[in-house]
Structure 1
Amino acid sequence: MQIDYTKLPDYKILCVDLKSFYASVEAVELGLDPLHDMIAVVGDVTRRGGVVLAASPALKQRYQIQTGSRLYQIPTDDRRIHIAKARMGLYLEKSMQITHIYHRFAPLEAIQVYSIDEAWINVTGTENLFAQNGVPATARDIAMMIKRAIYKELGLLAAVGIGPNKFLAKVILDNYAKKTGLAAIHYPQIKQHLWPLPVQHIWGIGRRMQLNLNRMAIFTLGDIAKAPLRILSKRFGIIGEQMYYHAWGIDHSPVIVDPLAEARKGFSHGITLVRDYYQDEAAVVIYELTDMLARKLRQARAAAFTISLSLRFSKREDTPSFSKSTSLYSATNLSKTLYLACMELLSHSTDAPIRHISVGVTNMVHQDAIQVDLFDGIYHQKLYRLGLATDQIINDHGMSAIMRAASLTSAGTWLDRALKLGGHYE
């Protein structure tokens, strides 16, 4: 395949990652060195099986403790090791501060937050804003300015990958910049720097896809680039096409977004259950999830026409995941309406033990577009006012202040969620 790269977009995209973010934040809070002190952040420090959410570089290097390791794997006889309880509220606060720093270098629509510690920043067109002595700033110059600002103000270390599109910026970050602090790639360097990389090192290729590719004698990004497109497309569909074009450095995903438009696309909430649930217990969790979705819709002054229910089943069962959606006669932001739609969807699922439940809404409109049936109008208004009242109580006093009685049963998850932030206790 011959690519005329001169005809492809050549943006200045930064992909920024905060090094061992949770552990680094805790190090700064404790007056320690994020790079050289040994720190582990654990989700639940009261359980020996508590999961390590982050480990400092020194702890990784000396004891091979990684994200996903368990508390019992951390040596107890080395007093240099600091174990910190996860504080998700603190990490979110720091993440917001970092986003504010990004905003000094690019408009909000040019900043795409990928996770709590990673984001893309499109700095195309800002070169003259940060010129030095009349010389326009390069993407590398701006990346260094961002790194210095984060370190000076927050004491945190950032790595930056630079590329002409989001995919290349992300891959150069993961495979080079995380080791060196800063790395850039341009189209002519793809074959030299990216093609030798194993497929499992490429963003977007998980363990299952790696195994599928390996069975086809595809082990590197270069192997994907050299594979016939029709074979990849036939085997993997649109994902196969995407992998092929990514291997050649082609990525047409948007680099400017409208944050409000992104939010209007839809919302979802999900939970991984601590044990097997069957449909009668799952109904309790579904009501809790629709309560959260309805509240989020009302906060956005929005309503949704389409609701979806997704289930993953126990690994002990050879049962494929379930996902189904339905469109409503009228858009809604009422939990009961969403719940009843989900229960209808649930009736089409197998009664296998459930370990993950997710509920989402799409096809959203402004709530003023809600059409209420003449005979149900009063009932609808009562439910809407009740929803607003519960929203206000939660805003003022937290999630634990009000909940459904069913959430107090053994199937309920609301109270546990109320005590957590980002899936972990604050």
Structure 2
Amino acid sequence: MSNYFNNEERRVIFAIDSKSFYASVEAKEHHLNPLRAAIIVVSTGPNVGGGGLILATSPMAKKLYGLKSNVSRLRDLPKDARNLLMVPPRMNLYIHVNSQINDIYREYVDNRDLHIYSIDESFLDMTQSWRLFGDTPMHVARRIQKEVHDKTGIYTTVGIGDNLTQAKIAMDIYGKHSTTFVGEIHYETVPDKLWPINQLNKVWSIGDRTAKKLERIGIQSLADLAHHDPYDLTNKFGVIGGQLYLLSWGIDRAVISDKTRPKEKSYGNSQVLPKNYTKASEIEVVLREISEQVAARIRKHHMQTRLVHVWVGNEYTDGGFSKQTRIIPTNESRVLNQAVIDLFRANWKGDQIRNISVYFGDLLPDNFEQLDFFRTPERQMQERILDKTVDSLRLKFGFTKLVKASSTLPGATAIQRAGLVGGHNGGNSYE
């Protein structure tokens, strides 16, 4: 078996997850042990149904009350959950602690070998550096765990592998259930560690729909997948079929420091509205607010857009639409707002709306300006200066210190959401 992988590059990859991150941070703030405290983080507000969203659940809360790891509704709590500590989210605090943890990781790897996958998970390519910190990668992993816990109080789970996929699966499947919170997978252990996995939807990059499609052709485990005809997988799944086949053999040739990774090619924002909107005037107010926020983002990155995309919909119906239009390159709020509104007016059929997204893509550097036949160059320059002035004032004094009158109209959400992070309470006073 080992000869099969002789041509595969072997790296030393750590996948590190902060256990029940939001709940663990809150436990420490309440002077509780993150592993022993029964605590959940609950987001409430007008745009959250079911009494509130459970964003995070501590390990003890999962054990005592059968709660799930993923987001669930407060209404789903068992009736006997009287001793459960429920706290509101403080997103800025979580971002602060996440920054502390990743700064610890930077003590072990060069920044180019660190990939921050999410607010609670990172990948470290330790290939060039692990020997500086211990006798074996396992020793180094335990050292990192201890340092993170000593400095932040957060427990971490580590997966070690010869590549990103092996490390991630080692963390998810084995590390989280180990007494040391460390799991390992290597090419030599693929038959013993990968192939017995029979809950395919628990494997990184295999979702529920893909798992069901695999089951329909008789694939119940990674062993089945590894020994299925790869050409048949490609015929049935396209490019993904080949990727699934490689995954089942533990093969992943991606490198964290590879500078050819695609960069972000669009900027956008989305909102879940506090209620179902049915009036065009109220929907347009929110569309303008989001458009201005995204326009400010592309100006901050010194970019212009040639592609405007608008999506409006409702999670309970088939109503709404997803449309885009090409425009002359610009980052002016007035022009982009009008393009967004024009798309809405041309495509909305009167459906009730609960979800809104605005994205600007096909970006270009902001080092030129296309003249507008309907405005003088002086007028264009004045509006660009006005946009940048507004951006700088909001950056210095806060968004709510300078808002348009339309943001006080019925349906507007920008002022209400100004203190939120990721749609949840920022908890700015955490320090």
TM-score (norm: length of structure 1)? 0.87
1:107 shift after superposition: 1.6
Question: Structure 2 CA distance, aligned partners of 1:298 and 1:3?
Answer: 53
Q: Percent identity at matched positions?
A: 30
1:89 shift after superposition: 1.0
Q: In structure 2, what is the equivalent of residue 123 of structure 1?
A: 126
In structure 2, runs of 5+ residues without a counterpart are: 427-431
Residues 216-235 of structure 1 mapped to structure 2, 5 A cutoff? 216-235=217-236
Check whether the contact 2:288–2:341 (CA below 8 A) recurs between aligned residues: no
Inter-CA distance 24–327: structure 2 relative to 1 (3 Å threshold)? same
2:393 aligned with 1:393: yes
Residue range with higher mean Cα deviation, 142-151 or 218-227: 218-227
Q: In structure 2, what is the equivalent of residue 363 of structure 1?
A: 362
CA-atom RMSD, angstroms?
3.0
Residue range with higher mean Cα deviation, 138-147 or 54-63: 138-147
Q: In structure 1, what is the equivalent of residue 158 of structure 2?
A: 160
Of the three residues 48, 63, 66, the one matched with 2:65 is: 63
1:234-255 deviations in Å (ceiling 9; x for gaps): 3333333322222222223341
Residue range with higher mean Cα deviation, 220-229 or 105-114: 220-229
Inter-CA distance 355–228: structure 2 relative to 1 (3 Å threshold)? farther
1:29 shift after superposition: 0.9
Question: Structure 1 CA distance, aligned partners of 2:255 and 2:323?
Answer: 28
Q: In structure 2, what is the equivalent of residue 380 of structure 1?
A: 380
Question: Structure 2 CA distance, aligned partners of 1:2 and 1:322?
Answer: 52
1:3 shift after superposition: 8.8
Of the three residues 138, 141, 150, the one matched with 1:140 is: 138
Check whether the contact 2:65–2:81 (CA below 8 A) recurs between aligned residues: no
Residue range with higher mean Cα deviation, 342-351 or 107-116: 342-351
1:86 shift after superposition: 0.9
Structure 1 counterpart SS, 2:356: strand
1:30 shift after superposition: 1.1
Residue range with higher mean Cα deviation, 227-236 or 383-392: 227-236
Structure 2 counterpart SS, 1:396: helix
Check whether the contact 1:45–1:71 (CA below 8 A) recurs between aligned residues: no
In structure 1, runs of 5+ residues without a counterpart are: none
2:112 aligned with 1:109: yes
1:126 shift after superposition: 0.9
Inter-CA distance 34–314: structure 2 relative to 1 (3 Å threshold)? closer
Structure 2 counterpart SS, 1:104: coil
Question: Structure 2 CA distance, aligned partners of 1:171 and 1:43?
Answer: 30
1:341 shift after superposition: 3.4
Residue range with higher mean Cα deviation, 289-298 or 261-270: 261-270
1:150-209 deviations in Å (ceiling 9; x for gaps): 101001100011112222211111111112110111112223211222211111222233
Q: In structure 2, what is the equivalent of residue 176 of structure 1?
A: 174
Residues 25-424 of structure 1 mapped to structure 2, 5 A cutoff? 25-44=25-44, 49-66=51-68, 67-74=70-77, 80-130=83-133, 137-180=135-178, 181-197=181-197, 198-256=199-257, 265-277=265-277, 280=280, 281-317=282-318, 322-330=321-329, 332-346=330-344, 349=347, 351=349, 352-373=351-372, 376-424=376-424
How many matched pairs?
417
1:34-64 deviations in Å (ceiling 9; x for gaps): 1112111111299971111111111110111
Question: Structure 1 CA distance, aligned partners of 2:230 and 2:201?
Answer: 20
Question: Structure 1 CA distance, aligned partners of 2:275 and 2:213?
Answer: 30
Question: Structure 2 CA distance, aligned partners of 1:129 and 1:107?
Answer: 13
Question: Structure 1 CA distance, aligned partners of 2:224 and 2:277?
Answer: 43
Inter-CA distance 139–340: structure 2 relative to 1 (3 Å threshold)? farther
Q: Which amino acid aligns with 1:308?
A: H
Q: Which amino acid aligns with 1:7?
A: N
Structure 1 counterpart SS, 2:36: coil
Inter-CA distance 370–196: structure 2 relative to 1 (3 Å threshold)? farther
Inter-CA distance 41–392: structure 2 relative to 1 (3 Å threshold)? same
Question: Structure 2 CA distance, aligned partners of 1:256 and 1:177?
Answer: 25
Structure 1 counterpart SS, 2:367: helix
1:90 shift after superposition: 0.6
1:384 shift after superposition: 1.6
1:257 shift after superposition: 5.2
